[in-house]
């Protein structure tokens, strides 16, 4: 324990975010860093608990409690407090391939399970993690780690999202020859085009993939497996294949008028903005624009919030976020005890920005779209919403419309952020792998091998829509399974 009384002496201090009206003027990250001394004080708050729930990473109450990567949090917090940043980096990289990603986009499951947070505020674990890895990059301590020997085994990874990158990184360091196939024009998958630049600047993603290339990983971008290269060719040319294409089939809203113009899936909207930002600096006409439009976002999750923040930056006339479920409580309920993940209402950056611009929280709860209304040209001009609620029918909770609650809202751009329904089938069909009832690639429980010899799967394509940190865990575990399949044993953990 770095400082036994640290959690008593120091209050939680987070990196300051720039004001909403200031940060919506750009698409860059907007948090200022603490000084080294302030960061050491934050690390000193770690209590080195006898039972550190922060690194547990197990399912409790149907949700993950603690870090799925089992990060050695008390160890590197102590080393950070003692100003031993190089040793802290070693312990951090022991369990996490990409701390620069998780320290930006992870919802900090570790902090929700921090014992210090039971009667006080939790330790700033995520920000401490970011400080360690960014200090290492800034000081030039992150260098290519090229394997001393190669096994001669060749592995194809299809998809360069967090699970594909983690699998590729782990297998490359083991000495195998890894080729990553990505259908987009840049590597990174979800990290590149599914997460807005203000949450994860794309130079951070490209910095890592460039490092992986120096370490020996080959990236083939703009290559759509199933059309540009066949499954048969990959199975013939490689000793193992990993399917890591994500859960990329968006859930649709099949209400009347769905064929109206200017209704988009959230991922297409976010992708168009990021690609235009990188290609042209957001030149007019190169992306799906929300400028001067009344925007309705269907879905109350993180992706919906990203759509809100992006629409505000475009200069929308208004933005409303519809959430079908009731508002969560502001504080942890009695039936949601520690260390379960707290089911509480949070206001994210996009909602803060919308409130600053338009004067109120953009969210409307227990509401969905009943009809998309078109003008005479077939373009969307409004949506008809309806309140919904759960009722008990024959012992089951059933969602029903509330009679007389319909409302018409002006809308020229609607973004569907209602989640995903599993993988897109063209890759799974190409390889002939079996799927589950949820449209994920099927494996035995706790395994990564599919029904097709030498074909494995990882990430959201395997477990369904989840978190970046869990995808990295999946990639690491899948890499260990592939390594054992090829070599008869594995030392990948």
Q: Which CATH architecture has domain 6-138?
A: Orthogonal Bundle (1.10)
Distance CA(68)–CA(5), nearest Å, equals: 28
For 6, half-sphere exposure in the C-beta direction (CA atoms, 13 angstrom radius) is 26
pLDDT below 50 — which residues of the chain? none
* Token pair in block for residue 244: 């890591």
Sheet with 363-365, edge to edge strand ranges: 263-265, 413-416, 294-298, 318-323, 363-365
Q: Is this prediction's pTM over 0.85? A: yes
> Quick one: pLDDT at residue 395?
81
Closest CA to 174 of 245, 239, 102: 239
Distance CA(231)–CA(235), nearest Å, equals: 6
> Quick one: pLDDT at residue 392?
86
* Token pair in block for residue 343: 């089911």
With beta carbons less than 8 A apart as the criterion, state whether 306 and 266 touch. yes
154-248+421-487 and 263-416: identical CATH topology:
yes
Overall residue count recorded for the chain in this entry = 493
Kindly report the three-state secondary structure assignment for every residue of the chain.
Answer: CCCCCHHHHCCCCCCCECCHHHHCCCCCCCECCCCHHHHHHHHHCCCCCCCCHHHCCEEECCEEECCCCCCCHHHHHHHHHCCCHHHHHHHHHCCCCCHHHHHHHCCCHHHHCCCHHHHCCCCCHHHHHHHHHHHHHHCCCCCCCCCCCCCCCEEEEECCCHHHHHHHHHHHHHCCEEEEEECCCCCCCHHHHHCCCCCCCHHHHHHHHHHHHHCCCEEEECCCECCCECHHHHHHHCCEEEECCCCCCECCCCCCCCCCECEEEHHHHHHHHHHHHHHHCCCCCCCCCCCCCEEEEECCCHHHHHHHHHHHHHCCCEEEEEECCCCCCCCCCCCCCCCCCCCCCCCCHHHHHHHHHHCCCCEEECEEEEEEEECCCCEEEEEEEEEEEEEEECCEEEEEECCCCCEEEECCEEEECCCECCCCHHHHHHHCCCECCCCCECCCCCCCECCCCCEEECCHHHHCCCCHHHHHHHHHHHHHHHHHHHHCCCCCC
Distance CA(354)–CA(281), nearest Å, equals: 23
Every domain of the chain and the residues it spans = 6-138, 154-248+421-487, 263-416
> Quick one: pLDDT at residue 50?
85
Q: What is the largest CA-CA distance in the chain?
A: 71
Mention every residue, 6+ apart, whose C-beta is less than 8 A from residue 362.
297, 308, 319, 320, 321, 351, 354, 355
Distance CA(286)–CA(156), nearest Å, equals: 33
Distance CA(125)–CA(164), nearest Å, equals: 25
Closest CA to 295 of 386, 197, 382: 382
* Token pair in block for residue 478: 């899948």
- Tell me: the pLDDT tens digits for 361-403? 999 999 999 999 999 999 999 999 999 998 888 888 888 999 9
First to last CA, the chain: 26
The Cα angle at residue 469 between residues 418 and 68, in degrees rounded to 5: 115
* Other C-beta atoms lying within 10 Å of the C-beta of residue 32: 9
- Tell me: the pLDDT tens digits for 195-243? 999 999 999 999 999 999 999 999 999 999 989 999 999 999 999 999 9
- For domain 154-248+421-487, the CATH class is alpha beta
> Quick one: pLDDT at residue 1?
65
- Compute the Cα dihedral for 13, 194, 89, 206 and give only its sign: negative
Distance CA(334)–CA(344), nearest Å, equals: 12
Distance CA(469)–CA(68), nearest Å, equals: 7
Q: Superfamily for 263-416?
A: FAD/NAD(P)-binding domain (3.50.50.60)
φ, ψ for residue 7, nearest 5 deg: -70, -15
> Quick one: pLDDT at residue 473?
98
């Amino acid at each position: 324990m770095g400082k036994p009384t640290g959690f008593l002496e120091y209050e939680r201090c987070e990196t300051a975010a720039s004001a909403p009206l200031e940060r919506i003027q750009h698409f860059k990250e907007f948090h200022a860093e603490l000084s080294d001394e302030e960061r050491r004080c934050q690390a000193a708050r770690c209590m080195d608990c006898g039972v550190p729930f922060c690194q547990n990473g197990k399912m409790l109450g149907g949700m993950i409690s603690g870090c799925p990567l089992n990060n050695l949090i008390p160890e590197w917090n102590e080393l950070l407090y003692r100003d031993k940043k190089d040793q802290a980096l070693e312990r951090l990289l022991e369990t996490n391939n990409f701390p620069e990603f998780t320290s930006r986009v992870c919802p900090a499951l570790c902090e929700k399970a921090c014992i210090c947070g039971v009667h006080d505020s939790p330790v700033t674990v995520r920000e401490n993690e970011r400080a360690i890895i960014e200090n290492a990059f800034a000081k030039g301590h992150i260098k290519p780690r090229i394997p001393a020997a190669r096994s001669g085994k060749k592995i194809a990874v299809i998809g360069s999202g967090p699970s594909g990158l983690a699998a590729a990184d782990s297998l490359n360091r083991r000495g195998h020859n890894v080729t990553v196939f990505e259908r987009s024009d840049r590597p990174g998958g979800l990290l590149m085009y599914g997460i807005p630049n203000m949450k994860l600047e794309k130079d951070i993603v490209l910095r890592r993939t460039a490092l992986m290339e120096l370490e020996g990983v080959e990236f083939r971008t703009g290559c759509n497996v199933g059309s540009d290269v066949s499954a048969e060719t990959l199975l013939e040319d490689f000793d193992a294949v990993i399917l890591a294409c994500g859960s990329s089939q968006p859930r649709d809203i099949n209400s009347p008028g769905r064929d109206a113009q200017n209704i988009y899936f959230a991922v297409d909207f976010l992708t168009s903005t990021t690609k235009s930002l990188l290609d042209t600096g957001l030149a007019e006409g190169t992306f799906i624009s929300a400028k001067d439009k009344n925007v309705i976002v269907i879905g109350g999750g993180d992706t919906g919030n990203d759509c809100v923040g992006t629409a505000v930056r475009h200069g929308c006339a208004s933005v409303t976020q519809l959430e079908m479920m009731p508002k969560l409580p502001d504080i942890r309920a009695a039936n949601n005890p520690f260390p379960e993940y707290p089911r509480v209402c949070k206001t994210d950056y996009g909602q803060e920005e919308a409130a600053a611009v338009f004067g109120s929280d953009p969210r409307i709860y227990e509401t969905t779209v009943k009809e998309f209304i078109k003008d005479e040209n077939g373009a969307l001009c409004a949506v008809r919403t309806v309140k919904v609620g759960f009722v008990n029918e024959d012992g089951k909770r059933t969602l029903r419309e509330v009679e007389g609650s319909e409302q018409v809202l002006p809308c020229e751009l609607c973004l569907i952020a209602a989640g995903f329904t599993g993988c897109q089938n063209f890759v799974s069909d190409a390889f002939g792998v079996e799927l589950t009832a949820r449209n994920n690639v099927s494996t035995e429980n706790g395994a990564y091998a599919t029904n097709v010899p030498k074909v494995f799967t990882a990430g959201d394509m395997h477990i369904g829509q989840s978190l970046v940190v869990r995808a990295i865990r999946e990639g690491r575990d899948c890499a260990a399974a592939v390594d054992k399949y090829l070599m008869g044993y594995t030392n990948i953990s």
